[in-house]
Structures are given as C-alpha cells and as structure tokens.
Amino acid sequence: MSPGTATPLDRQTIRAARRQLALDGLGIIVSAAGFGFVYGLTARTAGHFSPVEAMAMSLIAFGGAAQFAAIGYVASGLAWPAIGLLTFLLNARHVLYSAALAPWFRGRSVAERALAAHLLTDESFALAVAHFRRLGRFDPIGYWYPAIVTTLIPWNLATLAGVTLGDAIVEPSRFGIDVIFPAAMAGLAVGLIGGRREIVAALAGGAIGVVASLAISPTIGIIAGGVLGPLVGLLVPSTARGDVGPGEAALPNLEDVSP
C-alpha cells in the first residue's frame, strides 16, 4: 500500500480513531476550561494579576500547574530567578513527554516540531499518544486538535473569563471545579493503558509520587513518580494490545483523510 491510497477499511479505522479522539477531547475542553477559569480567578484574587498579566502567562508560559504555582510565588514575593528555577523543576516532566512523542514525529519538519513543543501539555500528550497508538502511526490531527482546540483555546478563554468575571464566584469548590484536573489526569492515564505494564507503571507512579511528595515536595513527587514508575512497569512482561510503536502499522497517509 502506498502513502495516500487509503482503502475504505483504512479510512474507517482512521475515522473511528478520530471520533474517539474528538469524544475524549470534549472531556479535556471541560477540564481546560474549568481549570483555566479557576486559574484566572486565583490570579486575580490571590495574586492581584491584571488581565494582561494573567493572559500573558496563559499564552506565553502555557503551563497550568506552573502558572498556579507562580501566583503563590508572586504573592509571597519570591525573587524571579527562584520562580524560574521552580518553574523549570515543575515542568521537567515535559522532557519525558517530549522524548516519548519524538518517535511519532519522525520525519516532520523542524518548524512543526518546534511549534508542537510549545503546545506540549499533559492533556495534548495523553490524547495524542493514545490516538497514535490506536493507529500505529502519526496523524497531524491527532496532535493539533488536542493541543489547540481542546487545550490552548479553552485554557486561554477561560483564563480571560476567570480574571475578568471571577470576582463573582466565591467558592469554586462548591461547583466541583477543583476535582476536574485530577479526574482528567486519571482518566487520561486510563486512556493510555493497554496492558499490565501500563497498569503497573501507573500504580507505581501514583504511589511513588505520593510518598515522595510527603517526604520532599509535590514537585519532586510528580517527577519521581514519572521517572521511577515506568522502571517498575518494565519489570512486568509485556502483554499489551497498546504496544504498537511508531511506524509499526501499515496505514495510509493520514493527511489525505478528512475527519
């Protein structure tokens, strides 16, 4: 089969995968909007950020947890170099995401990969990798839809809403907004599980994360869970349906197939 000559069956497979991606993306839109709204609200009320400052964070830094942490750092008067160092540590997990995505982006242009890097988040990573695994290869929509439509846009619109309208909402937790982020992370992890290895890696990552958070700090805990959890997972023999690696399935050129 040559690239760009998709058979009807292949198109069906791709469309089914994209439908699943779109459906999962709806959940992420809700999550990004809820989380972004709380960020805007907190930036305004706790950090006294102006709308321009809050929006600059969401567009330029574009890192949910790091942005939340920055509110606390600014409010407590922490020096900017220290904020930079803590932000670097908190976002260090992206090294793992970036390395895990790289094989799927093999052959894509430098400009595309450079832009993709800025839009790399927990959500875009999880949705994209789950989609690529379903297909067994790269699909541009599989990255740009989660990165832009389900994350970047709702996150920024919700930040704007939170920072400008948020004073009216006194207790976001009454509306369940505080559980959206952890529930989304847990749900996204389930989407990446295809066998015992992933289950063990996830359980180990969670357990190590909590223990290290209690012993040292939540930032270190998350990184420790992300680094050590997969090592524990590798101790288990692979049994997964989801172990299709990049380029291991013969599917058509996905740019030629509309959703």
Partner 1 sequence: MSTDLVPLAVLMFAVTYPSRAIGLLNPAIDRLPRRALEYLQLVGPAVLAALAAVNVMVATADGRSVFVAGLPWVSVLACLAIVAWRRNLFLGLAAAVVIAIAGRAAGLP
- Subset of 233-252 contacting partner 1 (CB under 8 A): 233-234, 238, 243, 245
Tell me if 147 contacts partner 1 by CB under 8 A.
no
Both tokens of 131, joined, read: 């989609």
**How far is CA 96 from each of CA 41, 93, 185, 197, 228, rounded to the nearest angstrom?**
30, 5, 16, 17, 12
Q: What residues numbered 122-141 form the site for partner 1, per CB under 8 A? A: 122, 125-126, 129
Q: Which of 1, 16, 46, 100 is in the footprint of partner 1 by CB under 8 A?
A: 100
Burial of 2 (0-12, 13-18, 19+ CB in 10 A): exposed
Shortest Å distance, C-beta 48 to partner 1: 8
Angle at 127 between CA 125 and CA 129, to 5 degrees: 65
**How far is CA 219 from each of CA 1, 20, 91, 92, rounded to the nearest angstrom?**
47, 32, 9, 9
**How far is CA 106 from each of CA 99, 100, 134, 148, rounded to the nearest angstrom?**
11, 12, 17, 21
Tell me if 19 contacts partner 1 by CB under 8 A.
no
Q: What residues numbered 170-199 form the site for partner 1, per CB under 8 A? A: 173-193, 197-199
CB 128 within 8 A of CB 153: no
Which is nearer to partner 1, 184 or 254 (by Cβ)? 184
In the block, tokens 């995401």 appear at 97
Both tokens of 20, joined, read: 């699943």
CB 256 within 8 A of CB 4: yes
Q: Which of 51, 153, 164, 196 is in the footprint of partner 1 by CB under 8 A?
A: 51
Shortest Å distance, C-beta 215 to partner 1: 8
Size of site (CB under 8 A) for partner 1: 110
Q: Which of 26, 46, 82, 165 is in the footprint of partner 1 by CB under 8 A?
A: 26
> Segment near partner 1 (CB under 8 A), from 9-17, 93-101, 151-159, 161-169?
93-101
Distance CA 221, CA 240 (A): 27
Shortest Å distance, C-beta 164 to partner 1: 11
Q: What residues numbered 53-72 form the site for partner 1, per CB under 8 A? A: 53, 56-57, 59-63, 65-67, 70
Tell me if 37 contacts partner 1 by CB under 8 A.
no
Tell me if 38 contacts partner 1 by CB under 8 A.
no
Q: What residues numbered 198-217 form the site for partner 1, per CB under 8 A? A: 198-199, 201-210, 213-214, 217
